[in-house]
């Protein structure tokens, strides 16, 4: 591989993309970009402005003015919207419940895909990028594409534990709603990209998933 390495990791909500991508980037000395955090930060900024998120035209026109900045250190990733550190507020139920609406608006996707491609271009040493459309739309020629999955019950149990023992059944239902919207929207739906290797982390520890993906990267190099 001569050009900078790009590892594209896509998959449904809670399949382990962020934890795995950070671990892979750290192990391989690569940068890391969390594109879900960008959609969340856009959602936070639009909510701050009082934009009606059920109105795609209003979302599209307000999105142009939002300034997003992503820090790509896998050990300390950052996300700012309009100069504010939004790492915590983008994880609230309000943002989580609304982000799929914003991510379905084509103009928002154009803006963020453009930012994502710029971030990738600014990582000359290579980068791990995670999201829903990285291997299919953002970097379709990425030399390594992973589609990371895990059973819905495992994803919900992990996410519920992370949220201090939240109700697993309610968490699984919320994940299913988000997956349904993300995979059926018209604009860049969640799909297994052409050429992506499926990694199923249901019965693997986080370290085992990272080892598996590092092995796939090594084999492709
Ligand atoms: N293989 C694994 N074994 C056990 N726990 C895991 C594993 N992979 C991830 N986790 C845990 O599952 C939870 C969800 O993982 P993570 O946030 O990385 O998923 P995600 O796919 O990025 O989610 P989202 O799409 O909502 O951003 C976290 O608490 C993480 O520590
Ligand atoms: N490339 C991406 C990344 C994320 N999204 C959507 C999907 C989710 O509903 C939302 C938040 O993502 P998460 O932080 O849960 O990974 O953003 C997308 O459409 N495309």
Cβ(132) to ligand 2 under 6 A?
yes
CATH of the domain at 213: 3.40.50.300
- Cα 214 to chain centroid, rounded: 19
Cβ(16) to ligand 1 under 6 A?
yes
Assigned domain for 46 exists: yes
CA distance 150 to 15: 5
Cβ(10) to ligand 2 under 6 A?
no
Is position 16 annotated in a ligand binding site?
A: yes
ipTM of this predicted complex?
Answer: 0.98
User: Measured between alpha carbons, how far is residue 204 from residues 20, 44, 150, 153 in Å?
Assistant: 12, 33, 9, 14
Residue whose Cα lies nearest atom 12 of ligand 1: it is 158
pLDDT digits (tens, 9 = 90+) for 32-63: 999 999 999 999 999 999 999 999 999 999 99
Q: Locate 172 and state its tokens.
A: 């699984």
Question: What number is the average pLDDT over the span 213-220?
Answer: 97
Residues spanned by the domain of 153: 6-220
Q: What is the mean pLDDT of the chain?
A: 95
CA distance 112 to 69: 11
Ligand nearest to the CA of 18: 1
Residue-wise over 107-137: b if at least 16 C-beta within 10 A, else e? Answer: ebbebbbebbeebbeebeebbbbbbbbbbbb
Assigned domain for 153 exists: yes
User: Please, are residues 212 and 49 in contact by the beta-carbon 8 Å criterion?
Assistant: no
Is position 74 annotated in a ligand binding site?
A: no
Amino acid 112: pLDDT: 98
Q: Is the pLDDT of residue 2 over 60?
A: no
> What predicted TM-score, i.e. pTM, was given to this entire model?
0.97
Count other Cβ atoms within 10 Å, centred on residue 93: 9
* Cα 102 to middle of ligand 2, angstroms: 10
Residue-wise over 6-24: b if at least 16 C-beta within 10 A, else e? Answer: bbbbbbbbbbbbbbbbbbb
* Cα 179 to middle of ligand 2, angstroms: 10
- Cα 13 to chain centroid, rounded: 9
User: Measured between alpha carbons, how far is residue 157 from residues 163, 169, 172 in Å?
Assistant: 10, 9, 8
Residues 38/126/194/41 CA torsion (nearest 10 deg): 0
Cβ(100) to ligand 2 under 6 A?
yes
| Counted domains in the chain | 1
Assigned domain for 1 exists: no
Strand order of the sheet with strand 144-149? 31-34, 127-131, 6-10, 144-149, 197-200
* Cα 20 to middle of ligand 1, angstroms: 8
Assigned domain for 75 exists: yes
The greatest distance separating any two alpha carbons of the chain, rounded to the nearest whole angstrom, comes to: 49
Is position 12 annotated in a ligand binding site?
A: yes
Cβ(18) to ligand 1 under 6 A?
yes
Assigned domain for 69 exists: yes
pLDDT digits (tens, 9 = 90+) for 136-147: 999 999 999 999
Question: What number is the average pLDDT over the span 139-158?
Answer: 96
Question: What number is the average pLDDT over the span 164-181?
Answer: 89
Amino acid 163: pLDDT: 85
Ligand nearest to the CA of 181: 2
């Amino acid at each position: 591989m001569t050009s900078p390495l790009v590892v594209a990791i896509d998959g449904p909500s809670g399949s382990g993309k962020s934890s795995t991508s950070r671990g892979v980037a750290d192990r391989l000395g690569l940068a890391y970009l969390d594109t879900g955090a960008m959609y969340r930060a856009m959602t936070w900024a639009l909510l701050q402005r009082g934009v009606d998120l059920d109105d795609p035209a209003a979302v599209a026109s307000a999105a142009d003015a939002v300034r997003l900045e992503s820090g790509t250190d896998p050990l300390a990733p950052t996300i700012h919207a309009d100069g504010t550190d939004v790492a915590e507020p983008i994880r609230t139920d309000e943002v989580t419940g609304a982000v799929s609406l914003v991510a379905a608006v084509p103009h928002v996707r154009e803006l963020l895909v453009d930012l994502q491609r710029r971030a990738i271009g600014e990582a000359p040493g290579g980068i791990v990028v995670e999201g829903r459309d990285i291997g299919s739309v953002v970097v379709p020629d990425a030399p390594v594409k992973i589609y990371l999955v895990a059973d819905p019950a495992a994803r919900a149990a992990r996410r519920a534990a992370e949220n201090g023992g939240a109700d697993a059944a309610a968490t699984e239902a919320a994940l299913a709603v988000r997956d349904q919207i993300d995979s059926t929207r018209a604009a860049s739906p969640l799909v297994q990209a052409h050429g992506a290797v499926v990694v199923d982390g249901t019965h693997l520890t986080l370290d085992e998933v990272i080892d598996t993906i590092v092995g796939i990267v090594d084999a492709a190099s």
